[in-house]
Amino acid sequence: MTASAKPVPDWQKDIFRVLKEGGIHQIAYVPDAGHAHVIRSAIADPAIQDVVLTTEEEGVALSCGAWLGGQRCAVLMQSSGVGNCVNMFSLLQAADFPFFTLVTMRGEYAEFNPWQGPMGKKTQAALELMGIHVLRASEPAEVAEIVSAGLDAAFEAGEKVAVLLSQSLIGRKKWERH
Amino acid sequence: MTPPQRIDRRAFVARLLAAVPDALVVTGLGSASYDVFAAGDRDGNYYLWGAMGGAASLGLGLALAQPDRPVVVITGDGEQLMGIGSLATVGVKQPRNLTLVVLDNGHFGETGMQQSHSSLGTDLVAVARGFGIPDALSMDHIDGCDDVVQRIRAGAGTAFVQVFIEASEPPRALPPRDGPFIKNRFRAALGLQPF
């Protein structure tokens, strides 16, 4: 499983550009291959605080702290991480915080690992159950617009928004070891 | 395990907060929130009534966003244990202006005083150090409060402070539960505009 040396897809570059233009100053993440470019770019950007999390729910609370202090935070996670967040999402509703997360999907397209299925297939429903508005990007060309729309809804209207990045964007995971 | 002497929680928190009037304060749910409110309500207090395990992470996001203001998280052992991994996350970032204060009575006070891990073998200072927060200390006398104040004022690095408190239940002092009110009041005190 090689992690690098592949060209960065344009849609991943688009995401980082949209986050920068949208005034995001904290990027909290549990890594996923689909977030790799944004994470690398956040680490390299002195104007952005990159925060690696041990579990995604930390990112929910961190994002609220950032907003209390006047900064916009984006939380990057994989679909399995949504399940880790469920009770912490209460914070978003109870105090009416803006929230913006990008979720790379697993368990829905050419999935090799059956353990990804149960949470991946319920990711959208779990988000919606907890009052989070869900947008989805499935084509590379639409990623920038949808991420931008979600970011604006979060920080201009105070909504809680998740943008799901379809597994088809990321493509089939290569399982061969070298 | 249990140190011989234990600190009165209300007295400790009141003395601490009186000495750092400009600190932004985040409280973990339950008794820590009551202690901070009992010490005097402030616009710069952010009281959690839920989100168990999230206090340190919320404090981290705030400390990164407000690097010139001291940020103090005051929580309990149970709350910190639920978000124990957040100490690793704090250990990576180590904002100079962040102080984590764990009021440790070794029990889950809100739910009937069941013993928690911190009185059943877990050493929270060792955990914090292991997670990469070198300035981690415990105290069992109220005079230790002055060391904490010094650290908050100096803003010289993230500190983790375990305060051994009595497993007492002082009278409830309930801060507002209206989350949007607390949030908006806090942001207004920082001069932040509504969207």
pLDDT above 70 covers what percent of chain A? 95
What is the band of A6 on the pLDDT scale with cuts at 50, 70, 90?
confident
B195–A68 C-beta distance less than 8 A: no
The CA–CA distances, whole Å, from A1 to A112, A174, A175, A178 equal 14, 7, 6, 7
Question: Across all residues in chain B, what is the average pLDDT?
Answer: 96
CA distance B55 to chain A (A): 7
Model pLDDT, residue B148: 98
DSSP A121-156: HHHHHHHHHTT-EEEEE-SGGGHHHHHHHHHHHHHH
Q: Among partner residues B51, B63, B179, which is closest to A61 by beta-carbon distance?
A: B51
Q: How far is A50 from A39, CA to CA, in rounded Å?
A: 7
- For range B133-157, the mean pLDDT: 97
Q: Is the pLDDT of residue A2 over 70?
A: no
- pLDDT exceeds cutoff 80 at B89: yes
SS3 of residue B24 by DSSP: strand
- Full set of structural domains in chain B with CATH: 9-189 (3.40.50.970)
Is the confidence at residue B75, as pLDDT, over 60? yes
* pLDDT of A5 strictly over 70: no
- 3-state class of A91 per DSSP? helix
| Alpha-carbon span A120 to A125, nearest angstrom | 10
Contact A41, A16 (CB under 8 A): yes
Task: Give the nearest chain A residue to B69 (CA atoms).
Answer: A69
What are phi and psi for residue A33, nearest 5 degrees? -55, -40
Residue A4 has pLDDT above 60, yes or no: no
pLDDT at residue B78 greater than cutoff 80? yes
Please indicate if any CB of chain A lies within 8 Å of the CB of B54: yes
Q: Quick check: is A39 in a domain?
A: yes
B26·A25 Cβ contact <8 A: no
Note whether A39 and A27 are within 8 A (CB). Answer: yes
Distance from CA of A83 to the nearest CA of B (A): 15
Task: Identify the H or E element spanning A36.
Answer: helix A36-44
Q: Is B176 part of the contact surface with chain A (CB cutoff 8 Å)?
A: no
- Indicate whether A89 belongs to any domain: yes
pLDDT at residue B195 is higher than 90: no
Q: Assess whether pLDDT exceeds 70 at residue B57.
A: yes
Show the beta-strand stretches assigned E in chain A.
Answer: 24-29, 49-52, 72-78, 99-104, 133-137, 160-165
Q: What is the DSSP string of B82-126?
A: HTTTHHHHHHHH--TTEEEEEEE-SEEGGGT-EEPGGGTT--HHH
* Alpha-carbon span A22 to A25, nearest angstrom: 9
* Structural domain includes residue A76: yes
Give the whole-angstrom CA distance, residue B181 versus residue B175: 11
Q: Two tokens at A121?
A: 């297939």
Say what the pLDDT of residue A3 is. Answer: 55
User: pLDDT per residue over A40-66, tens digit each?
Assistant: 999 999 999 999 999 999 999 999 999
- pTM here is 0.96
Measured distance CA(A123)–CA(A103) in Å, rounded: 9
Q: What are phi and psi of A51, to 5 degrees?
A: -130, 110
B95-104 pLDDT, tens digit each: 999 999 999 9
Q: Decide if pLDDT at B10 tops 90.
A: yes
Q: What tens digit of pLDDT does each residue of A124-173 get?
A: 999 999 999 999 999 999 999 999 999 999 999 999 999 999 999 988 77
Nearest residue in chain B measured CA to CA from A67:
B62
Domain assignment present for A112: yes
- pLDDT for the residue numbered A173: 73
Q: What is the pLDDT of residues B109-127, one digit of tens each?
A: 889 899 999 999 999 999 9
Sequence-ordered list of residues with C-beta below 8 angstroms from that of B26, at least 6 positions apart, any chain: A65, B46, B48, B55, B58, B59, B62, B71, B72, B73, B74
Residues B69, B127: contact at Cβ < 8 Å?
A: no
Instruction: Work out the percent of chain B whose per-residue pLDDT is above 70.
Output: 98
Token code pair at residue B21: 């009037």
Q: Distance (Å, rounded) from C-alpha A147 to C-alpha A81?
A: 19
Q: What CATH code is carried by the domain that includes residue A166? A: 3.40.50.970
Is B103 within 8 Å of B75 (Cβ atoms)? yes
pLDDT confidence tier of residue A178, bands split at 50, 70 and 90: low
Q: What chain A residue is nearest to B188 in terms of C-alpha separation?
A: A68
ipTM, two decimals: 0.96
Residue in the structure block whose two tokens are 């009165």: B8
Q: Is residue A120 part of a domain?
A: yes
Q: pLDDT higher for B1 or B173?
A: B173
Number of structural domains (chain A) is: 1
Task: At A34, give phi and psi (nearest 5°).
Answer: -70, -20
Which range of residues forms the domain containing residue A87?
Answer: 10-170
Contacts of B192 in chain A (CB under 8 A): 70
